[in-house]
Structures are given as structure tokens and as C-alpha cells.
């Protein structure tokens, strides 16, 4: 991946809203194709991520010199992040792709699933969970017994973002659905609440359709990005 082109393209240094209506995404390969490999970020996708910073060129220059290094980026302007325990987050992701509109970029970090969402989602999702009687910091109620704590990152927060190129270090942050456009589609709070409820209800029924990847290969699930609405 030639990352010098990112700095030569003036469009990559322009901050954006990150709330495009629809886009494709680069996803992890199917099991057996390249087991354990993570999806890679395209130059436009890297530009979108970098636009979260006040000085995007600084981030792009960092990735030019260290393409396999993660970065810490602020939330609240270009994207929010909903951070779920790994297994439950994958169940949410499966629901989004099998029964819903698809997802925005999604990453794995320290055993947790990070779903990138539209700005404002963090605050609104917390309110919706309280309104349904299921705050993100506890479980209870009917379907809520299966809902683990969710961490909603919004304004004032920052998250570790996987590198554009997959790192060879075991356990390093990596992409399940990598950004590949300057205006990726991002789910809002209502969509993620729906996915959370669907995942919890399926778990309560003991009828969860888990990802097809084995535990040793958590990134092998394939999501058909052409189905994204």
C-alpha cells in the first residue's frame, strides 16, 4: 500500500462529517482465504479517519512512516464509537448485516468490538437505553439480562484506531469492516439500539446465530457490503 499518495492528495486533509448516505466497505476475507487476516483501510478511508483530528496531515504523515501502527483519534465530530464486549458486539454486527442495513467501520481492540457510529450517537444511545429501562452500565429487565455493559464514546473521548495496514503483532487492534471512502455510511442510535435488542433477545432464546469464524480466527466473518442500505 503506497501511503505517500495520501499526503499528495489535497482532498485527504479536508475534515469531513463522516455521515455519507451509503458506501461500500472493505471486509475481512472468508475463512480459508487468508485466515486471521484483517481488512485493510484504503487511502480515502484513512483520510476520513484522519479528518477526526484538527490536523489530518499529521495523522497521515504518521501512518506514512508507520502504516502498521494504531493511532488515538478523538470522537464526537467525525464519528462516535459504541464499544461492546467482543462476543456481544459480534452478535450485534451479525444482526446488522443479516437482518438490518449493514454497518459502518467496525474494529476489534482488547477483546471488544468497536462500532463506529454517526456523531451524536453516544449521548442519544445512552438516553435510549435509559428510556427502555436498560442503561448501558447495567443489565436487568426482560431482554436486558443478556445486555452487557456498553461504552459509548462521544465528544471529549478518544479511541485507539487500528492501523491502515494489518499489524503482525498478535492481539493488535484490527478492522472487521474497514473504512474505504471519505464519506462512509454510519449507523445512528436507533439502528444500534435495534441491533442491541435483537442480539439480546436471540441470546435469551438460546438461538444465537454466532459468527461463522472459529475462536482462533475471529476476523474471518464475511459481510456482504453490497447489501448495505
Identify whether the C-beta of residue 129 lies closer than 8 Å to the C-beta of residue 150. Answer: yes
Indicate the domain borders of the chain: 40-210
Distance CA 66, CA 132 (A): 44
Q: List the chain pLDDT tens, one digit each, 229 residues.
A: 454 444 444 344 433 333 333 333 444 432 222 334 457 899 999 999 999 999 999 999 999 999 999 999 999 999 999 999 999 999 999 999 999 999 999 999 999 999 999 999 999 999 888 776 554 444 444 445 567 889 999 999 999 999 999 888 888 999 999 999 999 999 999 999 999 989 988 766 654 444 433 344 444 455 555 455 5
Report pLDDT for 177: 95
The helix/strand/coil state of 77 is coil
Report pLDDT for 221: 57
Report pLDDT for 66: 95
Distance CA 137, CA 66 (A): 36
Report pLDDT for 217: 47
Report pLDDT for 149: 84
Report pLDDT for 204: 62
Report pLDDT for 40: 84
Handedness of CA 97, 196, 185, 37 (dihedral sign): negative
Report pLDDT for 145: 54
Q: How many residues does the chain have?
A: 229
Report pLDDT for 115: 98
Report pLDDT for 63: 96
Distance CA 220, CA 229 (A): 23
Amino acid at each position: 500500500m503506497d501511503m505517500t499518495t495520501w499526503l499528495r492528495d489535497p482532498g485527504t486533509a479536508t475534515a469531513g462529517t463522516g455521515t455519507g448516505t451509503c458506501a461500500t466497505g472493505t471486509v475481512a476475507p472468508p475463512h480459508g482465504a487468508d485466515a486471521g487476516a484483517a481488512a485493510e483501510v484504503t487511502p480515502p478511508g484513512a483520510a476520513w479517519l484522519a479528518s477526526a483530528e484538527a490536523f489530518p496531515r499529521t495523522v497521515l504523515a504518521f501512518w506514512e512512516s508507520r502504516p502498521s501502527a494504531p493511532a488515538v483519534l478523538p470522537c464526537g465530530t467525525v464519528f462516535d464509537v459504541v464499544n461492546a464486549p467482543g462476543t456481544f458486539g459480534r452478535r450485534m454486527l451479525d444482526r446488522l448485516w443479516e437482518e438490518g442495513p449493514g454497518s459502518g467501520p467496525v474494529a476489534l481492540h482488547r477483546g471488544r468490538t468497536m462500532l463506529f457510529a454517526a456523531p451524536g450517537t453516544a449521548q442519544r444511545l445512552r438516553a435510549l437505553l435509559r428510556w427502555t429501562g436498560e442503561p448501558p452500565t447495567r443489565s436487568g429487565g426482560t431482554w436486558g439480562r443478556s445486555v452487557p455493559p456498553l461504552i459509548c464514546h462521544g465528544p471529549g473521548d478518544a479511541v485507539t484506531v487500528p492501523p491502515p495496514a494489518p499489524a503482525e503483532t498478535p492481539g493488535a487492534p484490527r478492522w472487521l469492516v474497514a473504512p474505504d471512502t471519505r464519506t462512509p455510511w454510519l449507523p445512528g442510535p436507533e439502528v444500534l439500539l435495534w441491533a442491541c435488542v435483537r442480539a439480546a433477545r436471540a441470546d435469551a432464546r438460546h438461538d444465537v446465530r454466532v459468527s461463522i469464524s472459529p475462536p482462533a480466527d475471529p476476523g474471518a466473518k464475511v459481510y456482504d457490503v453490497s447489501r448495505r442500505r
